[in-house]
Amino acid sequence: MEMSVKKALEEKILVLDGAMGTMIQAYKFEEEDYRGERFKEYAHPLKGNNDLLVLTQP
């Protein structure tokens, strides 16, 4: 199996999935962390929207 993974890596892009959400929770971000400056005045709660951190905490 190991050799087939190495061979595949040489030939194409592989996608790995893991427990990123759990790792993000360890940072204990608050509402303000999710908002950043860009969404400071947004009318709805954003805490827990981990995808948003790409924009507010790059």
- What DSSP assignment string belongs to 29-52? --HHHHHTTTTTT-SS--TT-GGG
pLDDT given for residue 15 in this prediction? 81
Q: What pTM did the predictor assign? A: 0.64
Domain residue limits, the chain: 17-56
CB within 8 Å of 12: residues ≥ 6 apart: none
Per residue of the chain (58 residues), give pLDDT as tens. Answer: 566 888 888 999 888 778 888 899 999 999 999 999 999 999 999 999 999 999 998 8
Instruction: Report the candidate in 53, 43, 44, 45 with the shortest Cα–Cα distance to residue 21.
Output: 53
